[in-house]
Structure 1
Amino acid sequence: MTDIQIFFSVGVALATALLLGELVERAGEPVILGEILAGIVLGAYVLEIVDPDGSFALLAAIGSMLLLFDAGYEEIDVQQLERGGRSVLVIAMFGVGLPAIGGLVTGMVFGYSIITGLVLAITLGVTSIGVTARTLLDLDSLNTRYGHHVVGAAVTAEILGLVVFSLVMASQQTGASAGQIVRILGLVVAFFVGALLVHRFLIERISRLLASSRQTGSDMIGIMGLLFLFGYAADAVGLDVIVGGLVAGLIVSSERRFRETKIREGIVGIAYGVFIPLFFVNVGAQMDPSVLVRFDPLVIAVVAIGVVVKVGGSYLGARLARHPPDEAWVVGVGMLPRAGVELVVSTTALAAGLIDERLFSAVLALVFVSVLATPLLLKRAIRRTAM
């Protein structure tokens, strides 16, 4: 039987997101901030109207895929992204590597094992591409050189984080072998090889097939089917569905007829009117505001290192990639937020006994601070580039 309680949760979530989004918009801040605040109020630690682990999470996952599909389809120039490949790797090297080292050292300083330190390293190294992409979209800055570099580095961070975490989890299993490690890496490679094959050999054929259809909305049905299949495939190989959404958007945008039919016009209403706000409400619903009033040295250290080293490392990487100082600050702040992957990694690690409640609370505090700070800081950093 369908759980109709989800209708109530979604209705209240959308109404609250609309109200708080309007308030923050009138205050001159990005709408995403209001949606996240709505999630905090309605979430598991305050009013408990939104359950971030139940059916609501599935709707939020659809929102994350649609958000990155839109970014890949409408905003990201694949050729420019390819030209910036070396810069993306440099930014990722510093924006992921330095925070990861900071996390490993912090864990060991506070007496944790190397495995626990590795989990903390992963959570400090990753970036929530959803928060950054939505903020850049709202500020009309995604289709820029620094926007492409932030997205590329954030996706790289997410993939590296999930792959390394999968290897850590495999190493803790009884009888873990080199074959398991090869399998994990092979699945990720297979996903991207499969995506390349769809791009090279299938997308034009799919377009021609849909063009010959007599059904109303055949293009939309076909493309949304492709989106969900890529989301499923990404999850099946151990990545996040959000990566599948981005890859699907990039592939669809590469086909001439799909670009001309303006698929975005068909998805923008339902995506930004329903699913994408639910994604950010769900992000907020997972945050515990009480972690900010726990004056634990570990919490303070994790938040401080997670913010300062992440922004600083990404800034340094951007400068080495020849971004001017103002753009380098945009890259640094754009790499700051942690939400999706970090929460998945920390929650799974807690359930597996790899981290304790104290460290889990420190990670939640970093999520809280980074997600709320990013839209505010990113808007001001982008504004400086226009001066």
Structure 2
Amino acid sequence: MTLQTLTLITVLALAGPWLAWRQSWHLPVILGELLAGITFGTTGFGLLHPEDPTFSFIADVGFAVVMFVAGTHVPVRDASIRSALGRGVLRALVVGVLAMILGQSIAAWFGTGHGLLYAVLIASSSAAIVLPIIDSQGLGGKPVLELTAQVAIADAAAVVALPLVIDPGNAGRAAIGAVLVAAAAVAVYFFLRWLEDSGIRHRLHKVSEDRQFALELRVSLALLFALGALATRSHVSIMLAGFALGLAVAAIGEPRRVAKQLFAISDGFLAPLFFVWLGARLNLREFGDHVSLILLGVALGAGAVLTHTLMRFLGQPIPLGAIASAQIGVPVAAITVGTQLHVLKPGEPAALMLGAVVTIAAAAWGARSAAESVPHN
């Protein structure tokens, strides 16, 4: 990887903000980054080489940071969410049952054998997409609190379940690794809690802010990379390490200064590079040899939207159900991990991403409809 290539990647990543410029479209920034990678990667002009070791390594770091940020977005400290937890848990469980049935059916229809993986994808929600939609539309009231609880539960459960279902033959090993990473994240939580309660973090923060040391950011990244190393040695994805650490930080309360610093390093460089790399790695040419996989992508996306909007029978407005169906982190993780483990069929990664795009389109419709029908803050 050269500086010329890095320049090309950072320029291409500007396609993300450009495509998401119109707020009324509710398109995530990563969509443009993925399309840029697809255009200049394996599918398109071939100027980007995702198999380059340096490119792949930096992309892995970006993946860990993306999942860390996603974990910090889960509102585990929001007391108002707890009052809606019961209804949120119920809907997440019902969606999970429906997703299991639909996922197995889709896998049997297309002959992929990935029914459990599809079930996790269909049941998942993305807090990183849903929460900004709620904030941007100013949505409020009890239905939105229930939606937030449902999404937080589904997001966390899907991240934990994904390493177990993506490679069932090694599910036992993945389960042990997941337990080790989770235990380490719990230990980190208690360590951070002690720093907070003892006043040490506040004193360090004061010195760091006065002298521009960025100590909290450095510690956060050190912990992230340590958990990532543990995950790698334990044969589980760094996805789980990043998300678990994000939850631990969210449970303590992420300092505003750290959030701003992390936003700069993530959204300014590492995350765009990762999504451009992911797009470059997708080979849409395989759709030409496996046209049926286009239908697979549409079926997965439509299945996710259907199972979530069926929560209308449990009292959830259809627009909010469409918003809840939005997914991005779990499909991206499935593609990244699945291609690394060589368990996905040719063209299947692109199908999974197509399914995610379908849910994002449905969420954009849901956001516009909810803005007209759901109470505002």
Amino acid in the other structure paired with 1:193? V
Q: Distance in 2 between matches of 1:296 and 1:96?
A: 29
Amino acid in the other structure paired with 1:324? P
Match for residue 380 of structure 1 among 341, 346, 365: 365
Amino acid in the other structure paired with 1:216? R
**Residues 194 and 91 of structure 1: is their aligned pair in 2 closer, same or farther, counting only changes over 3 Å?**
farther
SS of the residue aligned with 1:12? helix
**Residues 342 and 91 of structure 1: is their aligned pair in 2 closer, same or farther, counting only changes over 3 Å?**
farther
Alignment of 1:277-288 (within 5 A): 277-288=272-283
Q: C-alpha root-mean-square deviation of aligned residues, in Å?
A: 3.8
**Residues 22 and 99 of structure 1: is their aligned pair in 2 closer, same or farther, counting only changes over 3 Å?**
same
Q: CA deviation at 1:22?
A: 1.8
Alignment of 1:356-367 (within 5 A): 359-361=345-347, 363-367=348-352
Aligned to 1:25: 21
Q: Distance in 1 between matches of 2:178 and 2:71?
A: 24
Q: CA deviation at 1:330?
A: 0.9
SS of the residue aligned with 1:51? coil
Q: CA deviation at 1:159?
A: 0.9
**1:76 maps onto 2:71 in alignment:** no
Q: Distance in 2 between matches of 1:111 and 1:138?
A: 36
Q: If the length of structure 2 is used for normalisation, what is the TM-score?
A: 0.75
Q: Distance in 2 between matches of 1:211 and 1:295?
A: 55
Alignment of 1:200-239 (within 5 A): 200-205=193-198, 206-211=200-205, 213=207, 216-218=211-213, 220-230=214-224, 232-233=226-227, 236-237=230-231, 238-239=236-237
Aligned to 2:321: 328
Q: Distance in 1 between matches of 2:329 and 2:262?
A: 26
Aligned to 1:163: 164
Aligned to 1:59: 58
Q: Percent of aligned positions with the same letter in both sequences?
A: 19
Amino acid in the other structure paired with 2:12? T
Aligned to 2:303: 309
Alignment of 1:28-177 (within 5 A): 29=25, 30=27, 31-53=29-51, 54-67=53-66, 69-70=68-69, 76=75, 78-79=77-78, 80-108=80-108, 117=113, 119-126=114-121, 133-134=128-129, 136-137=131-132, 140-141=135-136, 145=145, 146-147=147-148, 149-165=150-166, 168-170=169-171
Match for residue 339 of structure 1 among 306, 331, 340: 331
Match for residue 197 of structure 1 among 190, 198, 207: 190
Gaps of 5+ in 1: 172-179
Q: CA deviation at 1:162?
A: 1.2
Q: CA deviation at 1:343?
A: 1.2
**Residues 193 and 27 of structure 1: is their aligned pair in 2 closer, same or farther, counting only changes over 3 Å?**
closer
Q: Distance in 2 between matches of 1:106 and 1:198?
A: 44
**1:12 maps onto 2:8 in alignment:** yes
Question: What is the CA deviation profile of residues 190-238 of structure 1, one whole-angstrom value per residue up to 9, with x for unaligned ones?
Answer: 14432442353344445145146467233x3333322441354256342
**Residues 94 and 227 of structure 1: is their aligned pair in 2 closer, same or farther, counting only changes over 3 Å?**
farther
Contact 1:289 1:368 in 2 (8 A): no
Q: Distance in 1 between matches of 2:123 and 2:277?
A: 14
Question: What is the CA deviation profile of residues 15-54 of structure 1, one whole-angstrom value per residue up to 9, with x for unaligned ones?
Answer: 1221463255259543332222111112232233333343
**Residues 211 and 296 of structure 1: is their aligned pair in 2 closer, same or farther, counting only changes over 3 Å?**
closer
Q: CA deviation at 1:12?
A: 0.9
Q: CA deviation at 1:150?
A: 2.3
Q: If the length of structure 1 is used for normalisation, what is the TM-score?
A: 0.74
Q: Distance in 2 between matches of 1:183 and 1:234?
A: 15
Q: CA deviation at 1:243?
A: 0.7
Contact 2:73 2:128 in 1 (8 A): no
Amino acid in the other structure paired with 2:186? V
Q: CA deviation at 1:288?
A: 2.0
Q: Distance in 1 between matches of 2:274 and 2:122?
A: 16
Contact 1:20 1:35 in 2 (8 A): yes
**Residues 285 and 110 of structure 1: is their aligned pair in 2 closer, same or farther, counting only changes over 3 Å?**
closer
Q: CA deviation at 1:142?
A: 9.8
Amino acid in the other structure paired with 2:253? S
Aligned to 1:177: none
SS of the residue aligned with 2:21? helix
Amino acid in the other structure paired with 1:243? F
Q: Distance in 1 between matches of 2:111 and 2:371?
A: 46
Question: What is the CA deviation profile of residues 167-197 of structure 1, one whole-angstrom value per residue up to 9, with x for unaligned ones?
Answer: 53256xxxxxxxx587346325414432442
Alignment of 1:249-328 (within 5 A): 249-251=249-251, 253=253, 258-259=255-256, 262-294=257-289, 296-297=291-292, 299-300=293-294, 302-317=296-311, 320=314, 322-328=315-321
Contact 1:95 1:313 in 2 (8 A): yes
Contact 2:164 2:175 in 1 (8 A): no
Gaps of 5+ in 2: 139-143, 373-377
Question: What is the CA deviation profile of residues 108-160 of structure 1, one whole-angstrom value per residue up to 9, with x for unaligned ones?
Answer: 45666xxxx2x442145237989761575377459963355324312211211
SS of the residue aligned with 2:278? helix
Contact 2:297 2:353 in 1 (8 A): no
